Chain A
Amino acid sequence: MSNYPDDCYYTKDHEWIRVTGDTGRVGITHYAQESLGDVVYVDLPKVGESYQSGDPFGSVESVKAVSELFIPVSGEIVEINGQLADAPELVNSSPYDEGWMVTVKFSNTGELDSLLSSTEYEDFIKEGKL
């Protein structure tokens, strides 16, 4: 599998969103989990909270540091991944599947247009590495 699946949209803050109907599942990218190292804690919002795109909605912690999570699109949190409380390491081992963080119900589907495709995101992190 690619490190950057092409059924997701990406942000420059290293989140992905995978869209189904009017909701999207959100997590952090392979690049982000690798840079963080072993994830030991994930702080997630409560179901029902609403955010504007780009708002911090939680945080992810390695032994060394805390990193904020930013929501890719505006909307309401309709689901959180409760498994991460007991198994935060899923963010490292399965960033696009079992390590997902929240499901957000969009308030504005048009916002997806401003996100990056997998190839655009891959180019973006390659540039950053130069």
Chain B
Amino acid sequence: MSEQLKLTALGETHRALGGKMVDFAGWEMPVQYTGLIPEHMAVRTAAGLFDVSHMGEIEVRGRDALRLMQLITCNDVAKLADRQIHYSGLMTEQGTFVDDILVHRLHVEHFFCCVNASNVDKDFAWFQQHAAGLEVEVLNSSSAYSQLALQGPKAVQILQTLTDFDLSTLKYYWCQPEIEFFGVKVFLTRTGYTGEDGFELYFAPEHTVAIWEGLMRAGKSEGLIPAGLGARNTLRLEAKMALYGHEIDDTTTPLEADLGWICKLSKGEFLGSDVLNRQKAEGLKRKLVGFEVDDRVPVRDGYPIRHNGQDLGTVTSGSPSPFLKKNIGLAYFPIELTEIGTAFHVLVRGREVPAHVVPTPFYKRAKG
């Protein structure tokens, strides 16, 4: 007997909207409503609204909050100002990923971390384990928050009609606690997982339906539609944003994942920093690359990769790209094969399909 799936506060709303529900990390979530392609395109050209309440939240408070965050994550938390956010890795002692997380500094003694749904319990235990002996309190506040993501070039216009707060002052990867929307206090962040401008809203779950419906009403004339996890995955892939369990896990380091920019070795010691320093000094043996398929057939996660008859592992994420109208993917390649243009094959149902390494991200929004 399988475990009962968890429902977000919007379970009924998703069904009423025709959402096709699937099991995702133990949650029943909408994979699509009207269709993955129109939802994807709405986010690229107008706006989409995602229920991402399955995501976890872990808070760290106390005098040693900064110290704990510096110890267990690879980005330099000391560089964050109050209300600033960065992307980071929660590290194992081997310099690999326990998880990838967003770190929000509310103030020097209070950090708010957004973590993957599938990793909440593991992450929370890891935070707690390393908090031992420090003057710090670690809180798993995942059930205290619903999270909605309003994403797309029209997101700022839509949200601005609902608040007097001047959203042009809230820059990308900054946050604003306690802005009121529909009479509800919302923790508002200018972040997302789509490669577009946009916002994420965290608030108490009892207000979820009211906020979802209010946003949908406000955005209707701008082309806002509900978007599911299917579009979220193709959007993040086009933007080459890593997905835990696919591009990154506890066998991959941030350097191998082409995430050197979140790996601040100069900040001093942290979990796995010795391994990462060594890896940097000796040079990488493998690295994550993006590729395009030179065929109409899509390649998928897990398909085998071959180069001159030699097995190179498997595709970490692969899909048709709705915006670029090409078949794209990500995979780890030996460092000598990571050059742009390197030709190789992906095995699709026994057939060798040609592909080549391309620059990433596949898609980058024009800065407005």
Q: Which residues in A have some Cβ–Cβ distance to B below 8 Å?
A: 37-38, 40-41, 43, 59, 61-64, 66, 85
Contact = CB atoms under 8 A, between A and B. Distances in A.
Contacts of A62: 36
A43 B322 CA distance: 19
Contacts of A66: 298, 300
B36 A85 contact: no
A37 B36 contact: yes
B234 A63 contact: yes
Interface in B26-68: 31-32, 35-37, 40
A41 B37 CA distance: 14
- What DSSP secondary structure best describes chain B's contact surface? mixed
A64 B298 contact: no
Contacts of B298: 40-41, 61, 63, 66
Given A37-B32, A38-B37, 14 more contacts: A37-B35, A37-B36, A37-B37, A38-B36, A40-B320, A41-B320, A59-B349, A61-B320, A63-B234, A63-B298, A63-B320, A63-B322, A64-B31, A64-B36
Nearest to A66: B300
Contacts of A37: 32, 35-37
A28 B40 CA distance: 25
B230 interface: yes
B316 interface: no
Given A59-B349, A64-B32, A41 B297 contact: yes
Contacts of B31: 64
The 8 closest A-B CB pairs, nearest first, are A63-B36, A40-B320, A38-B37, A64-B230, A63-B320, A37-B35, A61-B298, A41-B297
B319 A63 contact: yes
A121 to B, nearest CB: 21
- What DSSP secondary structure best describes chain A's contact surface? strand
Interface centre among A40, A63, A66, A85 (most CB of B within 10 A): A63
Contacts of B37: 37-38, 63
B79 interface: no
A63 B234 CA distance: 8
B367 interface: no
Nearest to B38: A38
B122 interface: no
Nearest to B35: A37
Contacts of A41: 296-298, 320
Contacts of B320: 40-41, 61, 63
Nearest to A56: B349
Nearest to A62: B36
A49 to B, nearest CB: 14
Nearest to B319: A63
Nearest to B37: A38
